[in-house]
Chains A and B, each alone.
Chain A
Amino acid sequence: MVGGGRSVLERSPLHRLPDRLLKWGLTGLAAAILALIAYFFIRLIGQSSGTFGLSFIFGNHWAPQINAYRAAAMLVGTLITSTTAMLIGVPIAVATALYLTELCPRRARTPLSLLVDLLAAVPSVVYGLWGVFFLAPKLLPAERWFANTFSFIPWFGGGAGTIAPTNYFIAGLILAIMILPIVSAVSREVLATVPNEHREASLALGATRWEMIRTAVLPEARPGIVGAAMLGLGRALGETIAVVLVIGDAPDIGKHWFDQGYTYASVIANEFGEATGLHRSALFACGLALFVLTLLVNIVARIFVNRSARGKSYGTGDQGAVAAGAVAQMT
């Protein structure tokens, strides 16, 4: 667009100065953001170097009073709560997205979408408040019954006496509620990129609505939905305040699903205030592990979302950006 030979209309270098200033100023700003991220990462590694290592990740002994810092309990807790959240939240979120894009009457679509989106507007500390004073006590009898009935399955808790009111399951349930709006919003954006011709062709061939969804819509949208689920996983892994209130904060690997535990994020929030020296370094190591974990999950999620959106030549504009925009607005 620019470039080429000097024309009569070209401005003098002085007139072009503000343009150059803006261009290089903004480029510098962008470079500074990249440098800042790198700088933070290096400092975080530096702060946690005293404790971080393989035995920190996989060893199981967290006892600040004797300076033992092996955080397998946090890794297990983070994975269990996030998996629970995915198992409950993702199917509901995808079903919601399908209903809103494919089946819902046109008039109800906008208000219903808005309500689902508003789930993301509730601050995490309010979910924690609700979880600890309402959800955890109200669900305790149901959990007792569940653990008794299915006690033959490992990890489902045998004997109702051992069930803690705050536990992995409650934390996972709260996380499921918190990831639902983001998974649903990104899935909706992905579903919107499936061309209408596919739906019409499928219906014209005599498919029912559900068969159309199953054979024409879902296969096309699958990578994007996987990406959406992984973005939700990224959020679940790092959620702090809601989890610290409902997981029980016990620095050991729980015996079953309804036992107390810890996650990387919740141990930092809970112990940072009174930690010094090696303890603080161990908490930074938890932060580093969490940071790397969420980074990996997010990178993979982006690959899925972008691939599903970019593979299409039809549609308007940069669909990857549309999906990214949905993420930006939800997060």
Chain B
Amino acid sequence: MSTIEPKTATRLQLPRISARRRTTDRVMRALLAAATMIALVPLVLVIYYLLKEGLGSMTSAGFFTQDPTGSFFGQIGGIRSALLGSLEIVAIAAAIAIPIGIGLAVFLVEYGGKGSKPMRVFANTVRYFVDVMTGVPSIIFGLFIYITLVISHIGGNFAGWKGSVALSLLMLPIVARSTELVLQTVPDTLREAALALGAPRWRVTSRVVLPAALPGIVTGSLLATARALGETAPLLFTVAVANALTFNPSQQMNSMPVQIYNDILSPRSIVNSQAWGLGLTLVLIVLILNLVARGISRKSRSAGS
């Protein structure tokens, strides 16, 4: 008993690590930590410059209450039509994409994935193409809508609702995939319990599965909405631009990303600085949506486990 001291025992268990291996370990760990810091530098810089250049323009008189004039001299106006236009275009896009995306996810999880063999093959094909859709550049969705809705002059030339359709194509795979993921985490015992009580499938889905998955679905939908708010390229070919405020989605509308883009291209430096103010506004809205979305998913996760 007394021959084996605890101290000796520990020393025996620990293999000796040479100085070279120790140094390599330290260096590599430091490099990995440094890379993480480097990754955050752009975020800090972007936010710093947005605040530095944008706060002044954002707090100037009429920034939120006037529409841009778009003229080459004199008053430049504010961003009212861009802010409200963006909110309306994205709201319509969300109204299209979220129900369809949830429907698609319900199909993939509740019907396709649990059905007969040809149904499962079909569901896998759909899932695959939804995945591929997440990788399609947003500008391509803009071209699609241009080809199908703008060239054909359905309801006029460029229109706000056509931009909404383009954005909804972009949001659809995000909503569908994140909803599918949440539906898969709903335990089968819940479904079986409801079915055993005699509930038909559609009631099980609508009264048991979807409510259980609701926080996750809200998170996915908010993230998709935040993404759509910042997209410029699809709007260029579908909504075009306008300076005046309009709530009529069958007309050309203004939007935040497109106005930022046009403000950057402007030769007037005062308009350039308005782009910073508008950029700050847009980033603030998108960041808040992101944080709210993640907060909801975190809360539901800790409540669920």
Contacts and interface: CB of A to CB of B under 8 A. Distances in A.
A126 B125 CA distance: 36
A215 interface: no
Nearest to A18: B202
A114 interface: yes
A27 B104 CA distance: 8
Contacts of B223: 329
A66 interface: no
A238 B138 contact: yes
A8 interface: no
A235 interface: yes
Given A26-B107, A317-B185, A328 B35 contact: no
Contact of B42 (A129, A177, A238): A177
Interface in A51-107: 91-93, 95-96, 98-100, 102-104
A294 B137 CA distance: 8
A240 B233 contact: yes
A240 B286 contact: no
A265 B276 contact: no
B205 A22 contact: yes
State the main secondary structure of chain B at its contact with A.
Answer: helix
B211 to A, nearest CB: 16
A180 B37 CA distance: 13
Given A268-B139, A269-B236, A119 B134 contact: no
Given A33-B126, A95-B32, A329-B178, A22 B104 contact: no
Contact of B261 (A39, A47, A241): A241
B303 interface: no
B12 interface: no
A99 B35 CA distance: 8
B40 to A, nearest CB: 6
B86 to A, nearest CB: 11
Interface stretch (A141-149, A156-164, A251-259, A318-326): A318-326
B64 to A, nearest CB: 19
B184 A23 contact: no
Given A29-B104, A268-B143, A328-B181, A301 B135 contact: yes
Q: How large is the interface on B (under 10, 10 to 19, 20 to 34, 35 or more residues)?
A: 35 or more
A91 B143 CA distance: 33
A123 B125 contact: no
User: Interface centre among A96, A123, A317, A321, by most B CB within 10 Å?
Assistant: A123
A92 to B, nearest CB: 5
Nearest to B133: A37
State the main secondary structure of chain A at its contact with B.
Answer: helix
A298 B139 contact: no
A132 interface: yes
Interface string B42-83: 110110011001000000000000000000000000000000
B29 A103 contact: yes
Interface string A289-331: 0110011011101100000000000000110011011011101
A298 B43 CA distance: 27
Contacts of B286: 121-123
Interface string B9-46: 00000110100011011001101110110111011011
B162 interface: no
A15 interface: yes
Contacts of A239: 137
Contacts of B229: 123
A329 B226 CA distance: 11
A299 B138 CA distance: 17
B239 interface: no
B200 interface: yes
29 contacts: A19-B200, A22-B205, A23-B201, A29-B100, A29-B103, A31-B126, A37-B129, A39-B148, A44-B147, A92-B39, A93-B39, A122-B286, A123-B283, A125-B279, A126-B283, A129-B260, A129-B279, A132-B264, A208-B17, A211-B21, A231-B135, A235-B135, A235-B137, A238-B138, A245-B264, A290-B139, A298-B131, A302-B131, A321-B180
Which 8 pairs, one residue from A and one from B, show the smallest C-beta to C-beta distance? A238-B137, A123-B230, A95-B35, A328-B177, A298-B135, A206-B15, A26-B107, A208-B25
Given A130-B46, A287-B139, A325-B178, 8 more contacts: A33-B172, A43-B147, A294-B140, A295-B132, A295-B135, A321-B184, A325-B177, A329-B174
